[in-house]
Amino acid sequence: MVDKPDSGQIFGIPYNFERPSIGRMLSAYWQPGKGMLVKKPFGVGYTLNLANWRSLAVLLVAGGLYYQERRSGSADDTDEEVEADEPVEVIVDD
């Protein structure tokens, strides 16, 4: 039986299914001198390089948007639930 490779590329997208170690996991997310995206230590695709300032900016913006959505969404959810129980009038023009 032919052994399938544990790592490589398919259509230019990297994959790695080797058993991850703690050292490899930590070193994969912190690679000074590399770009914003680096190969994942396990799985398919790319992940953020936390040693790059652009990655930290992306995480900060995503966290801010998530916080804003959660904060404004909690007040809107209660209003929508009340309005959903009321009948809706539909007017159709001929």
3-20 tens-digit pLDDT: 888 888 889 999 988 888
Residue 38 in contact with residue 66, Cβ under 8 Å? no
Which pLDDT tens digit goes with each residue over 20-75? 889 888 888 999 999 999 999 899 999 999 999 999 999 999 999 999 999 987 65
Q: CA separation (Å) from 6 to 17, 18, 57?
A: 5, 5, 33
- Partnered with residue 8 across adjacent β-strands are 15
pLDDT of residue 36: 93
- Whole-model pTM: value is 0.61
pLDDT of residue 44: 92
